[in-house]
Amino acid sequence: MSARNTFPAPPINRPLGRPLRRGFHTTAATFHGGIDRPEPGTGIKVHFQDAKGNPLKTIEANEGDDLLSIAHEYDIDLEGACEGSVACSTCHVVIDPDHYDLLPEPEDDENDMLDMAFGLTDTSRLGCQVRLTKELDGMTATLPAATRNMFVDGKKPTHH
Amino acid sequence: MAPLKLAIVGGGPSAFYVASRLLSLLPQSSSRASALKIDMYDRLWAPYGLVRYGVAPDHPEVKNCTHKFAEAAADPRLRFFGNVNIGTDSPIADTLPLSLRALIPHYTHLLLATGCTVPVPHPALPPSPLCVPALSLVHWYTQHPARPAPPPLERTTHVTLIGNGNVALDVARMLLTPPSELAKYDVPTPVLAALERSAVQHVSIVGRRGPFQAAFTTKELREMMALPDAAMVPLDPALLVPPEGAPAPTRQQARTLQLLQKGSKNAFGTTRKTWSLDFFREPRALALPASSSAGTARPRLTLGHTELDAAGRAVAVDGETTLETDLVVTSLGHRAEPSAPWADAALGHTRTARGRVLDADGRVVRNVYASGWAAMGARGVLASTMLDAYAVADTILQDHFPGEDVHTTPVSERDAVRAEEAVEVLPREVDVHAIPGEVESGWREGRVTDFEDWKAVDSEEVRRGEVLGKERERMVWEEAREFLAFARPRNVRA
C-alpha cells in the first residue's frame, strides 16, 4: 500500500475573520483570512507549483487578493510568519517571468526582506505583496526550494 | 501505536515551530492524533524566548509569529510550563530547577530548543562596569528576568559597540532614537525614563573587517540612516570600493553599499547626535587613565588597525587609534551554555545530524533532537529557524514511523538510524499524562506557569499598555505572580 498520502501537507489553521492586530505597527499588517472565493470560471487564475515544477493547485481569486492570503485560503503550504507586514521572508515565491514583469516594482522594505530570502531568483517576490489584477490571470507562483544547510552535521564554524 | 510523548526544553520560536508542525502533521482528525503529546518547558516564566526578549521593541511586526504559536498552544496535546530550568545553571531567581534525570522517565522523545544564550566575549575586553555584552542591554530594555544592571546612560555621552551585526545596530538605534518615538512600543516605563535622561551623543560601531564583510542587513542599516535626530560620520570613499579581485558583490552587499554611499538622511554636522561605522578596527585594551583630575577620567579604548588577508580574514597591521568612551558594548554573537546536555564546547552548540543529537563519540542518541540556534549556532532570523524546525519535525516523524513517506520539506538524502548504533537514554513506555512531580507541585504553589497563565498576563500587559497609549506595559515576574495569584488562583482547577 502506498504511503504517499500518509502525511498530507498540513492545513494552515487560520481562523477566518481574525481581527486586525491593534497596535502601533509602522507597516499595517495585512488582514488575513476571509478572502472570498469567486464563482468558478469568473476569477483570476493562479497556478501554484512546488520547487521542482510539479503542479500543486490551480486556484481562482479576486482582484486585490494577495498571494499569501490566497495560499492560506486554499491550504497551500506557504508560510507568513510576520503575517504580511514585510518583516520576514517566509512568503517568498518565484513568479513566472512574463507575469513578474507586469508587477509594480518592489518597495525598499520588500527588497530588504528579499535580500535574505532562500533561493532568491530574478523573479522573486514576497507573496504578501503580490496583489492580483486581471492582467495577472494565468500567473504561475513557484514555492522556492529550502536550502539544506539547516543541518550543521558537525561542521566547525568558519573562523574570521 | 507507540506513543510520541515529547518534552521540549525551551519555549522559543524553534520550539513552537517544531510543536506547531508536529501537531498539524498529525491533526486531531488523524487516527494517530492521540499518539502525540508535547510538553514544553522554559526557564523563563513567559514563553516565546527571543521573540519576547530579543526582538527590538521598534520591530513589533516580527512578533506577529506569536499568533501561530498561540494557535499551537490551543491544541490540548500541547502543554507549556514556564519557570522550569532544566539541566543548567541559571542566573534567574525563583526558577524551579529540574534535572534531566528527573525529566527523562516521563518522555519517549526529547527536543533541545535552548538557543544560544551565552554572549561571546572579546579576549581583550574582560567584562566590567565599563564593558558589557549587548545581551545585557537587550535584556534591560526587554525586562528579561535575568535583570541586568541598567546602563548608566545619564553619565554616558559616548558608547562604543564592538561588532557590526544586527544586534549592534539594534542597540545603537535604541540609544539614538528619540524616546518620544519609542514610547508607543512595548519599551518598559523605567527604560523609557532612563532613555529620556540619557546623555548619549555618539555611538561608534566598530568592526574588524570592512563594509563587504559586515553582518548587518539592509533593513537595519536603512533604519540607522533614517534616524530623525542623528547623523552618520561620512565614510572614507576608499572603503566603499570593492577590493581588487574580490568576487562580485551579492545583492545584499550591493544594496548596503548604495546605502553607505548615500549616507544618512541628516547630513553630518546638522544634528545633536551622531554615529559612525568604524571599519578595520580591533580592540586591544580598555583602561582608565592612571592619573587625571578626579571625576573627569574617561575610559580609553585602544583599537588596533587591521586589513584583510588573502582568505578574507582580519589580520593586524601597524597603527593604533585611541578612543575616549564611556561604555563599551560587545556584540560578537552567542554560543550555547557549555553545561547544557550534549553541548559541544568546541562547536559552541549541540552537535547534530539532520536534527538528531550526537553524543561526544558521534553516536546518535535515539529520540533526542535539537532545533534552532541550539543546533545551528546563533545564526539566522525567524525564516531560517522555521525551516530548520520543520525539517527537524520531519526527522522526528520519519524516525517514529519508519518506512513511511514523511516528506514535507525537500530533502536531498535520507538516512535511517540503525537501532544498534544509537545510544539509549529515553524510555520506550511512559505514562502519557504524567509530568515530573516537582513541576506539578511547582505549578500548585504558583511558581511554575502554564499557557493559560501567559494568556492572562499577555492580556493584562496589553490592557496596562492601552491606559498609557502604548503597545503593552511589560510585567516583571513579581508583578506577574501577584497578578496571577488574583486572576488565576490555584485552588480553582482551570
CB B144 within 8 A of CB B475: no
> Can you tell me whether residue A103 is helix, strand or coil?
coil
Range B261-274 average pLDDT:
97
Q: Which of A18, A27, A152 sits opposite B376 (nearest CB)?
A: A152
Do residues B115 and B373 make contact, with C-beta atoms less than 8 angstroms apart? yes
Q: Which phi and psi (to 5°) does residue B121 adopt?
A: -80, 170
Q: Output the nine-digit C-alpha cell for A51.
A: 520547487
CA-based nearest residue in chain A for residue B60: A25
Q: Which of A18, A24, A89 sits opposite B60 (nearest CB)?
A: A24
Q: Would you call A148 and B404 a contact, using CB atoms and an 8 Å cutoff?
A: no
The pLDDT of residue B407:
54
One-letter amino acid for residue B219 of the chain: K
- Contact A151/B391, CB-based, under 8 Å? yes
Interchain pair A26, B61: CB under 8 A: yes
Q: How many CB pairs under 8 A join A and B?
A: 148
Contacts 24+ apart (CB under 8 A), A46-50: A46/A70, A46/A132, A46/A136, A46/A139, A46/A140, A46/A141, A47/A138, A47/A139, A47/A140, A47/A141, A48/A74, A48/A76, A48/A140, A48/A141, A48/A142, A48/A143, A49/A140, A49/A141, A49/A142, A49/A143, A50/A142, A50/A143
Residue B54, min C-alpha distance to chain A (Å): 15
Amino acid B405: pLDDT: 59
Residue pair A45/A136 in contact by the 8 Å Cβ criterion: no
At residue A114, the 3 state secondary structure works out as helix
Q: Has residue A159 got a pLDDT over 60? A: no
- Reported as a single tens digit per residue, the pLDDT across B365-395 is 999 999 999 999 999 999 999 999 999 999 9
- What string of H, E and C letters represents the secondary structure of chain B? CCCEEEEEECCCHHHHHHHHHHHHHCCCCCCCHHHEEEEEEECCCCCCCHHHHCCCCCCHHHHHHHHHHHHHHCCCCEEEEECEEECCCCCCCCCEEECHHHHHHHCCEEEECCCCCEECCECCECCECCEEEHHHHHHHHHCCCCCCCCCCHHHCCEEEEECCCHHHHHHHHHHHCCHHHHCCCCCCHHHHHHHHCCCCCEEEEECCCCCCCCCCCHHHHHHHHCCCCEEECCCCHHHHCCCCCCCCCCHHHHHHHHHHHHCCCCCCCCCCEEEEEECCEEEEEEECCCCCCCCCCCCEEEEEEEEECCCCCEEEEEEEEEEECCEEEECCCEECCCCCCCEECCCCEECEECCEEECCCCCEEEEEEECCHHHHCCCCCHHHHHHHHHHHHHHHHHHHCCCCCCCCCCCCCCCCCCHHHCECCCCCCCCCCCCCHHHHHHHHCCCCECHHHHHHHHHHHHHHHHHHCCCCCCCCHHHHHHHHHHHCCCCCCC
- Any bridge partners for residue B316, and if so which? B306
**Cβ-based contacts of A24 with chain B (< 8 Å):** 60, 184-185, 470-471
**By CA distance, what is A23's nearest residue in B?**
B471
Residue of B nearest to A110 (CA): B219
Instruction: Measure B62 CA to nearest chain A CA, in Å.
Output: 5
What is the least distance, in Å, from the CA of B18 to any CA of chain A? 13
Of the candidates A117, A157, A160, the beta carbon closest to that of B313 is on A160
- B419-430 pLDDT tens trace: 568 999 999 999
Q: What are the tens digits of pLDDT across the range B103-117?
A: 999 999 999 999 999
Residue A32's pLDDT band (boundaries 50, 70, 90)? very low
Residue-level pLDDT at A86: 97
Please give the residue of chain A at the shortest CA–CA distance from B314: A160
Has residue A7 got a pLDDT over 50?
Answer: no
Say yes or no for a CB contact (<8 Å) between B403 and A3.
yes
**pLDDT confidence bin for B245, thresholds 50/70/90:** confident
Higher pLDDT residue, B165 or A27? B165
Beta bridge partners, B449, equal: B82
What spatial distance separates the first Cα and last Cα of chain B, rounded to whole Å? Answer: 30
Query: Of all residues in chain A, what percent are helix, strand and coil, respectively (each to 5)?
Result: 15, 15, 70
The chain-wide mean pLDDT, for chain A, equals 78
User: Is the CB of residue B316 less than 8 Å from the CB of residue B305?
Assistant: yes
Neighbours of B184 (CB within 10 A): 18
pLDDT single digits (tens) B312-342: 999 999 999 999 999 999 999 999 999 888 9
Tens digits of per-residue pLDDT, A94-143?
Answer: 999 999 999 999 999 999 999 999 889 999 999 999 999 999 999 999 99
A122 at B interface, C-beta within 8 A: no
Taking residue B189's Cβ as centre, other Cβ atoms within 10 Å add up to 14
The C-alpha cell at A54 is 510539479
Q: Distance between terminal CA atoms of chain A?
A: 52
Which residues does chain A have within 8 Å of residue B251's beta carbon, measured at their own beta carbons?
115, 120
E strand spans, A50-148: 55-61, 92-95, 124-126, 139-142
Q: Please, which pLDDT band fits residue B402 given cuts at 50, 70 and 90?
A: confident
Name chain B contacts of A26, Cβ cutoff 8 Å: 58, 61
Mutate to test the interface with B, among A2, A22, A110, A151 (most CBs of B within 10 A): A151
Flag if A23 and B219 touch (Cβ within 8 Å).
Answer: no
Q: Do B347 and A154 touch (CB under 8 A)?
A: yes
- Categorize the per-residue pLDDT at B155 as very low, low, confident or very high, splitting at 50, 70 and 90: very high
CA separation for the pair A105, B154 (Å, rounded): 45
B366 touches B422 (CB < 8 A):
yes
The three grid cell numbers given for residue B25, joined into one nine-digit string: 502533521
Cα maximum dimension of chain A: 58
| Interface-testing mutation among B26, B55, B64, B306, with chain A (most A C-beta atoms within 10 A) | B64
Q: Does A81 touch chain B (CB under 8 A)?
A: yes
Nearest CA to B252 among A113, A87, A89, A101?
A113
More confidently predicted of B419 and A63: A63
Is residue A20 less than 8 Å (CB to CB) from chain B?
A: no
Q: Which residues does B180 contact at the CB level (< 8 Å), separation at least 6?
A: none
CA B221 to chain centre: 20
What pLDDT is stored for residue B292 in this prediction?
A: 53
Q: What percent of chain B has pLDDT over 90?
A: 85
pTM reported for the whole predicted model: 0.91
User: Is A19 a residue whose pLDDT tops 90?
Assistant: no
CB B249 within 8 A of CB A105: no
**Contact criterion met (CB below 8 Å) for B3 and B35:** yes
